[in-house]
Structure 1
Amino acid sequence: MFEKGDEEHSPFELCIKCAKSVIQSKIISSNKDLMAVIFYATTKEKNQGDFKNCYIVQNLDQPGADQVLQLENFLTDDPDNFAADYGHSNTFSLSDALWLCSSVFSNCTQKLGFKRIMLFTNNDCPHENQLKKQTIAKVEDLHHSGISIELMHMNKPGGEIFNYDAFYKDVLIVDDDESVHIADPAARFEELLSRVRIKEYKKRTLSRVSFSFGGALEMAVGVYNLVRTCTKPPAVKLYKKTNEEVKTVTQTFLRDTAEVLMPQDMKKMQTYATKQICFEPEEITQIKKFDDPGVKLLGFKPKSSLKKMHHVRPAQFLYPDETQIKGSTTLFTALLKKCLQRDVVAICRFTARQNQPPRIVALVPQEEELDEHQVQVAPPGFHVIFMPYADDFRNLKFEEGVPRASTEQIDKAKSIVKKLRFTFSPEGMENPSLQQHYVNVEAMALDRDQPDDINDSASPDDEMIDKRAGKMISEFSEMVFPEGYVPGAKRKAPAAARVKPDLTELNMEEEARAGRLMKLTVPILKEFVKTNRIPCAGTKKADLVQAVTDHFA
């Protein structure tokens, strides 16, 4: 593990760098998660169960600055110091190391959502015969206890390939929802970190629903989020004298008597034609309920019929759920293959949860993709594209007679576009605002003098743009903009003449009695109130409508 060979870093350094990166990520994104670092195959041992050749470096705890600093020390210390502090041993038992991990989970007082062991090694055959049987038995015990094991294997020193079939093929248990492809051993830090990040989070379903084909034919699927907006953590309010976290309590009071109201004391109301319609909570629940959660197939359409303008929100992802209905994976795979073969999308009615309105969705098939190291890049399944309803479309009227671009201008713009084409992937662009926030927080937590510089990948490369198309952009500006135009200069808009609303052709009393006051504009309502000297509680539209309604009551 400590031999570098021809590589820049030894396998041990790769593991430590990877663990440090994951802890830093957890501090930012999932600071409630618990992590531990355990060395095995050491001469010295430090654990609660007297397991031989096992050393608990960091016990199961929330990630923090101390853990990061301790791991950084491993990267800067001399390897000889590791031999003196921990030692190396070839007489270890992998079964004991896994048993220790199980006991660490058992001794945790907090409730754990899922338990996972990431095993970093470049030893493809640590045991044979009896020790191998003990390891297989222990892995089965861990699997029954809900503890999964992920192998993060690396190449041996000198570039010798890690042989997965020599030991771990018989030992590890692959879940039904995991890829059956075994990734190639990692040789670089980026490969290892990418593999860890993929396995770092357990796949959590947004919901598990049935997929009905009509009649009695149905299967079970899980709904997942592939993309979610990443935001800064919310600010926590503290008491300034003791720095204790304060609790916010919201209460609702009756305006006239200042009586505190409980949820059961309140109703919800909606105004319809100047009449207040009140609803009980049970009535609201019945109004919201359309259908039981599930996906119902309506039919199929060619993939080309799906337009870009139909995209109204981030897509979700469907994957079969064998735990609910046996045979779902087989039926799901058959549907996926046929949709890919015929290049069609499935149009469905989708109800995600109870009391949620149904949505029309298009299920776009996706075939599984693997990179050159046999690591899954894209899973097989269906993207759930949410479609707009007829009520969501807007009929926009564009002005006629506006200036049109000439053929010469269009050709020049096309040439600029061709020159500035580049390979783009959103996965390679981090949010600069988030990065700036977290590097400052990290610098304060680790007592560093100044934060690290961030790489703003969303910033345009002005030098490259000028080199590729600077001359074309200048020519295009001369062709499009008039002489004397200064880019960035603000143009003063002519002051619009204030037109007094005309009330002569409007029968306000008739509009009030017909309940059409909300359709009138605020200037018209204000002018009527001012002309007739009607007392009004405010200047908002609702106040004006109420004042006019009371005037004709």
Structure 2
Amino acid sequence: MAEGYTVNQSFDSDDEDNTHFQSSGRDACIIVIDCSSSMFTEFERDEKTLSSFTICLNVFERLMLNKIINNNKDLIGAILYNTKNSPDPGDNMHNDNSLVVPKNCAVLMPLNQIEPENIRFIKNLLASDDFLDFDNKFGHSTDAKIADVLWLCSSIFSSCGKQIKVPQIMWFTDQDSPHQVGSSDHQQSFQRAKDLQQFQLDLQFYPMKDSFDGGLFYKELLCQILGIEMEEFEFPTTQLDEKLLIQRMFRRAHNKRAIAHLLVEISSNAKFGVGIYSLTRTSQIPKSTVISRHSRELIETKRSYKYGVIPEDAVDVDNLHYDLDYTEKLEPGMMVKYQQCGGEKIKFTHLEAYEIKQVMDPKIKILGFKPSSVLSDYHHIKGSYFIYPNDNKIKHSATLFRALWERCLVDDKVIICIFTMRLKSYPRLVALVPQEQKVGIDSEVLRYEGFRLDFIPFAGDIRDLSEVLTGKNLIDSNTTTVMKKMLSRLRLHYAPTMFNNPTVTNIYRKIEESYFEDENKTEDDIFEDPMVPNLDAQDNRIEEHIQCLSEQLGRLEDEDVKAAKRKNTDIIEGGPRKKITADDINIELVLEKCKEGRVKELTVSILKSYLELKGVSGLSKLTKSQLIENVLKLSKS
């Protein structure tokens, strides 16, 4: 397991068919932060002075910024424990005055919908040297009861007044033994944890000390709340690196929803259900909203079609302007679609177009098994999916799925299938590749056990480049050796988390800066595009090979310059273009492609050369489809 078990760890925990959680409602999250004196002890990390409490506030701020952009309807709040005082969070926080806060606990931020004022409050708290007089306002202690903290969380969830889909708690502490074993406080904590099982909590625990021993208290407490056996539970590891901690939090908070539920068909009588999961998701740029310049109201755009009768004396039909008084609204049933073929427009109704696109019902149809060696790197033409069994479709699907998965692993086989994602989608050729679970250094699950769904090309998608790659290798072995050394010096240890999308990141940073007007911005906060390489560092790495490479490639550079000068001279002086002969093009290849119906595989240059050889003129303005039509006509004649 990654960083400890959570309810969301199950792949189907948030699907519509799951009965444990409500299918509607809002996500609600409470941040629980220990405020004992040890959490404020400063330490040096990456040339910065930090404390565990500062890291918790930074994580809280990033979480709110993420939620206010992605889903501002979510609820979020924060409570502190091991405090000396319990002050009111403030009038601007919409505090619930009916809530009784236990001793040595405090509500830093009530559970409410995220507002910019909440984020500004946390920013001001971080910018202050004394956390806005934290010692006098809240203070520190070690007398808080864990049972009271759990009761406060459940009371906040119950009294928020909103329908909650998944109640979530993120717990930060460095105290591994808050109560003495066998004491009344210790027993009350476990009794309260047992009562919380009815809430189906998603509790994420983050120890904030390197020597944290979860076996003293919290491992048993978490197992009691989550309702799992201690032997099956792996206690989360300590992570004090702020960036890695934020990545861990977002990764665990991400809902693993299936993008589709399909049946895998082995035969007409043997099927099992699976869920399809996307391994990657493109970061979206926020959509712009059109508003009125004067009233600042939202502007809604609606589109409708009208038709009119073309006058008999009309000359320029393409640029004809209709009089709106003599037009009528075009209803959807009156519209048709057409496909131009052979100079004719073949018309289809909406129903006919739908039936043409619906080649197969949504499913995964197994064609057969092949050794895994048949797949090459260039066969991966699209990002992969991940499939996992779903017993809600067909009972005992997991049993059949696992038997198939284990057999493919033992025999080193992949499954070739036809994959239709949903209605009106075209069938794709895919390979189901079995994979085993892979765990990282920090007990992070890097890869789950199951089948990876790889998209592979059809026969017509693979191009034959033998006619293009006919150039001779003019590079000798010495130059190749030098280039290998250069590439080894520029080698990069890549990880998917190294690069954020610079466009999306910059846009959100600009939005954040324009709203909050951060006056405490430092040079470290200036956005740097991670995709821009450090040219000075690269030059220093390959400096010793540059001179040798220049000596090896000097002759080729001179020949390229001469060739470019000859080409420019021909263009300027209007020199005659070399006439294409039958030796310059493989006519048999073109005719063979025409017979097989695979003319689309030929490049535009080959098509033009063939037509020019046949005496066809005016080829510069023709598209590839028009060139293909001309080639097919000539091949039939």
Q: What residue is the counterpart of 2:124 in the other structure?
A: 73
The question of 1:21 aligning with 2:75 is answered no
Contact 1:162 1:185 in 2 (8 A): no
Instruction: Give the partner amino acid of 1:171.
Output: I
Cα distance in structure 2, aligned partners of 1:488 and 1:129 = 85
Cα distance in structure 2, aligned partners of 1:220 and 1:277 = 40
Q: What residue is the counterpart of 1:461 in the other structure?
A: 534
Q: What residue is the counterpart of 2:8 in the other structure?
A: none
The question of 1:428 aligning with 2:498 is answered yes
Q: What residue is the counterpart of 2:192 in the other structure?
A: 134
Cα distance in structure 2, aligned partners of 1:193 and 1:49 = 34
Q: What residue is the counterpart of 1:270 in the other structure?
A: 339
* Alpha-carbon displacement from aligned partner over 1:261-301 (angstroms, at most 9, x marks no partner): 12222121223334332222222222222222222222222
Secondary structure, counterpart of 2:542 in structure 1: helix
Structure 1 residues 201, 344: closer, same or farther in 2, change over 3 A?
same
The question of 1:230 aligning with 2:283 is answered yes
Contact 1:268 1:280 in 2 (8 A): yes
Secondary structure, counterpart of 2:224 in structure 1: helix
Q: What residue is the counterpart of 1:116 in the other structure?
A: 168
Q: Which of 404, 421, 424 pairs up with 1:355?
A: 424
Structure 1 residues 189, 419: closer, same or farther in 2, change over 3 A?
closer
Q: Give the 5 Å matches for 1:404-423.
A: 404-423=474-493
Cα distance in structure 2, aligned partners of 1:52 and 1:427 = 40
Q: What residue is the counterpart of 1:241 in the other structure?
A: 294
Q: What residue is the counterpart of 1:335 in the other structure?
A: 404
Residue 72 (structure 1) shift: 2.1
Q: Give the 5 Å matches for 1:118-517.
A: 118-123=170-175, 128-138=186-196, 140-143=197-200, 148-155=201-208, 159-163=211-215, 164-173=218-227, 181-256=234-309, 257-396=326-465, 397-398=467-468, 400-402=470-472, 404-448=474-518, 452-482=525-555, 493=568, 494-495=570-571
Q: What residue is the counterpart of 2:72 in the other structure?
A: 32
Q: What residue is the counterpart of 1:94 in the other structure?
A: 149
Structure 1 residues 437, 155: closer, same or farther in 2, change over 3 A?
closer
Instruction: Give the partner amino acid of 2:258.
Output: T
Instruction: Give the partner amino acid of 1:38.
Output: A
Contact 2:72 2:113 in 1 (8 A): yes
Cα distance in structure 2, aligned partners of 1:364 and 1:168 = 36
Contact 1:317 1:382 in 2 (8 A): yes
* Alpha-carbon displacement from aligned partner over 1:161-219 (angstroms, at most 9, x marks no partner): 233433211222469xxx96442243443443232111222112110112233353332
Cα distance in structure 1, aligned partners of 2:291 and 2:262 = 42
Secondary structure, counterpart of 2:133 in structure 1: helix
Instruction: Give the partner amino acid of 1:128.
Output: H
* Alpha-carbon displacement from aligned partner over 1:77-119 (angstroms, at most 9, x marks no partner): 52683354346662462342232342355x23xx766553333
Structure 1 residues 270, 485: closer, same or farther in 2, change over 3 A?
same
Cα distance in structure 1, aligned partners of 2:156 and 2:531 = 42
Cα distance in structure 2, aligned partners of 1:290 and 1:436 = 43
Instruction: Give the partner amino acid of 1:325.
Output: I
Secondary structure, counterpart of 2:300 in structure 1: coil
Structure 1 residues 225, 484: closer, same or farther in 2, change over 3 A?
closer
Q: What residue is the counterpart of 2:101 in the other structure?
A: 52
Cα distance in structure 1, aligned partners of 2:164 and 2:294 = 34
Contact 2:306 2:327 in 1 (8 A): yes
Cα distance in structure 1, aligned partners of 2:110 and 2:99 = 15
Cα distance in structure 1, aligned partners of 2:617 and 2:329 = 36
Contact 1:184 1:375 in 2 (8 A): no
Cα distance in structure 2, aligned partners of 1:154 and 1:202 = 23
Contact 1:31 1:62 in 2 (8 A): no
Residue 370 (structure 1) shift: 2.1
Structure 1 residues 15, 324: closer, same or farther in 2, change over 3 A?
farther
* Alpha-carbon displacement from aligned partner over 1:464-522 (angstroms, at most 9, x marks no partner): 322222231332233224387599999764427799x9xxxxxxxxxxxxxxxxx998x
Residue 321 (structure 1) shift: 2.3
Contact 1:182 1:374 in 2 (8 A): no
Q: Please, which runs of 5 or more residues in structure 1 have no aligned partner?
A: 502-518, 531-538, 546-553
Contact 2:167 2:199 in 1 (8 A): no
Which moves more between the two structures, 462-471 or 52-61?
52-61
Instruction: Give the partner amino acid of 1:133.
Output: Q
Structure 1 residues 48, 320: closer, same or farther in 2, change over 3 A?
farther
Contact 1:152 1:192 in 2 (8 A): no
Instruction: Give the partner amino acid of 1:479.
Output: Q
Structure 1 residues 102, 322: closer, same or farther in 2, change over 3 A?
farther
* Alpha-carbon displacement from aligned partner over 1:509-537 (angstroms, at most 9, x marks no partner): xxxxxxxxxx998x99xx9999xxxxxxx
Secondary structure, counterpart of 2:518 in structure 1: coil
Contact 1:52 1:96 in 2 (8 A): no
The question of 1:3 aligning with 2:8 is answered no
Instruction: Give the partner amino acid of 1:246.
Output: I
> Alpha carbon RMSD of aligned pairs, Å?
4.0
Q: What residue is the counterpart of 1:504 in the other structure?
A: none
Cα distance in structure 2, aligned partners of 1:488 and 1:17 = 56
Cα distance in structure 1, aligned partners of 2:616 and 2:408 = 62
TM-score by length of 1: 0.79
Q: Please, which runs of 5 or more residues in structure 2 have no aligned partner?
A: 1-33, 45-49, 89-94, 179-184, 310-325, 580-603, 628-637
Structure 1 residues 329, 412: closer, same or farther in 2, change over 3 A?
same
* Alpha-carbon displacement from aligned partner over 1:230-254 (angstroms, at most 9, x marks no partner): 2422322221123322112222221
Residue 344 (structure 1) shift: 2.7
* Alpha-carbon displacement from aligned partner over 1:19-45 (angstroms, at most 9, x marks no partner): 1112223344x1435241220536436
Which moves more between the two structures, 241-250 or 252-261?
252-261
Contact 1:296 1:350 in 2 (8 A): yes
Residue 130 (structure 1) shift: 4.1
* Alpha-carbon displacement from aligned partner over 1:398-435 (angstroms, at most 9, x marks no partner): 16455622222222222222232231223211223333
Cα distance in structure 2, aligned partners of 1:281 and 1:483 = 59
Structure 1 residues 302, 440: closer, same or farther in 2, change over 3 A?
same
Cα distance in structure 2, aligned partners of 1:118 and 1:287 = 51
Percent of pairs with identical residues: 24
Instruction: Give the partner amino acid of 1:440.
Output: K
Cα distance in structure 2, aligned partners of 1:292 and 1:429 = 39
Which moves more between the two structures, 305-314 or 74-83?
74-83
Secondary structure, counterpart of 2:430 in structure 1: strand
Contact 1:182 1:375 in 2 (8 A): no
Residue 7 (structure 1) shift: 4.3
